[in-house]
Structure 1
């Protein structure tokens, strides 16, 4: 089968930052599905791993990354019970295994969902990784209750990005929350509004002052999708007592958790890969979440966040998608149709 990978962590515009090669089509065992990949999408995690996985020395074999995928089940392992050959599926993958930048991929059925029927392949592949991340943050970690928490406020840092785009929709449509997103350019502001944000504030200005202007000097919840370290002090000041902060971004320096003590603030990390990395007891929760997202997309509650479609599974298109992500100005999701 054809695959695209890398042996060295090179700048994306260098010739061998990605290389095409042939490799053996794998055989599914246990809970694995063998999926014929029809499309994938590129996320920040893709370029971050490409930049770091082979920084010190050249790999003996090309590393295949890529996690979001839509495809058709070709064959199944002996323990598979949720899918059959011919099923259309979508998923966000497992960071410990070979990725979706290949014609075929093995994937554990417990982290796979049914592809939305009413969406095109390209529209559907924009959702899994960001959808799971936002859903887990809101409903597994904060545990938003749409009845009890109706009208409470959530601040979404980086609202126009891939995760922010779907988080706005989930917080508004499923969580019944008052959604405040951050964006700084005219096009990203409009995008956040189109996703359903009640308010959009400028993260290049003083966040505290921006919130006061819209009558929300404090917020119940904060979702950090951009820069935990840079916004840490501000977040601890604007989150309400007994509030909750969730971050996906990490920090290069230790965080002062004492700043959360007096207000009894809860802080959580969200990493979508945790369940598959550690084979947690609730690993199949991602199967259920993806199926729920599929239902919400099919009935029109949610809409795809795809903005750019590149046609053809080629080195050139993969490089282009990585360039868009690395620019830091990407809106929504960029997908590659095989």
Structure 2
């Protein structure tokens, strides 16, 4: 079946936003800017986490993994989309589509698992602060991160191989700007939803359970300052989870419609807007990140000053 598909369909054609020619150039410019900001923001956050020893904690270790995921996630779909827009071809090979769908699925699935593990990290930090250094030691953090990557990548591989073995019903036109799994599934003769929905809801259930215990613990704290401080350590994660799951769940549980304009806009949201905002959300009210950025900037200025003095 896979070989038959490979020989019968060698090229896919994207409709993208061609139905809306007046806004195509605006969407292109916005996507380009957001992609560049996504790369810059997440790379800065990864660099700061690596270079500053004070940020060598479980939360920032997981955050670095999240930033890495966001870079790969956006890079799997948006650079090809931007290139297609400039070239005017709007095409992708069968193997290229398979690779694009796999990487977007793998990074998205891994992020689902990682966000649930980050909720568990916050649960241990707030509900068992004395045992936190022992429970969330370096070895456990590495195992959790590696497990998230392996689970997400393996699940994506199974789903990609299965989808690409299905009959495409003689259609090779994808009404989307990338090989997103829901768009590709519209070309096949059957619908595959159960596995994706389960993979979305299980991590979301774990996140919800973690925050039920977290909220219960926070409400038992006597001082208002203590409650505010405890909640502030979770606020960024809650915001990221809400944005990420909100847009993806909308795509999976909304009624089917022939008009895919909303689908494409939502895909832009969780494909580039959320990864762009993640480092901003985590660093906006985070004094540790602010201090690390100040130290990094100061060290860079001092290095430039020393180099200038040596040249003189």
Q: TM-score range by the shorter chain?
A: under 0.3
Larger radius of gyration: 2
With a CA cutoff of 8 Å and minimum separation of 6, indicate the structure with the bigger relative contact order: 2
